[in-house]
Amino acid sequence: MTKPQAPSANLVGEELPEDRSKVLFLDCLLLVERLHRRMLDVIKETLDREGLSELNAVQALLIYNIGDSETTAGELKTRGYYLGSNVSYNLKKLVELGYLSHERAEHDRRAVRISVTDQGKQVCRVIDTLYEQDLEELLSDQLISVEDLRGLRRNLRNIERYWSDKLRFSL
């Protein structure tokens, strides 16, 4: 059985025939993957422009996703944001660079609580500003609407829930 190939490049707004739902589905999956990589490229360019070139985009997102909370590496992995060795390496590096602080939890000396330092909060502000500017431009250029975003979020969450249930219940 040959694996169907998703179109390598669809023009913006190009419609696929209804009977090609598998191709459409695969194209959507590839787009999500490409969008994530492109977002990382935009973040890295922004970091470099802001004089934060010692950080990579994954590390900046890690800092941003921790934000004002205090967490553990295990909690970050459980949330599904990062893989085990990846998060451990990046957390260690970010502590060394001064963007994160860590200390042993009082109730369980094995657990290490991680929080963002003042230096890390600067990174959060940079990423937050980038996201705000991108959203403002997308909306003002009418490339997407708030209603489009609601529908997109609903659909992506449905797919995430479907795959999570599939894994959880071995469907």
Per residue in 79-118, pLDDT (tens digit) is 766 665 688 889 999 999 999 999 876 776 677 889 999 9
Q: Domain span at residue 40? A: 22-170
- Let me know: does 45 contact 57? Beta carbons within 8 Å: no
Q: Is 67 left (phi over 0), alpha (psi -120 to 50) or beta?
A: left
Number of other residues whose CB lies within 10 A of the CB of residue 28: 14
Q: 12 in a domain, yes or no?
A: no
**Residue 58: predicted pLDDT:** 92
Q: Read off the CATH number of the domain in which 154 is found.
A: 1.10.10.10
Q: Tell me how far apart the alpha carbons of residues 148 and 152 are, in angstroms, rounded to a whole number.
A: 6
Taking 60 as the threshold, does the pLDDT of residue 69 lie above it? yes
Residue 6 lies in a domain: no
Q: What percent of the chain has pLDDT over 70?
A: 83
Contact yes or no for 62/91 (Cβ under 8 A)? yes
Q: Is residue 26 part of a domain?
A: yes
pTM for the whole thing?
A: 0.81
| Domain tally, the chain | 1
**Do the domain assignments include residue 14?**
no
List the one residue out of 4, 1, 62, 6 whose CA is nearest residue 33: 6
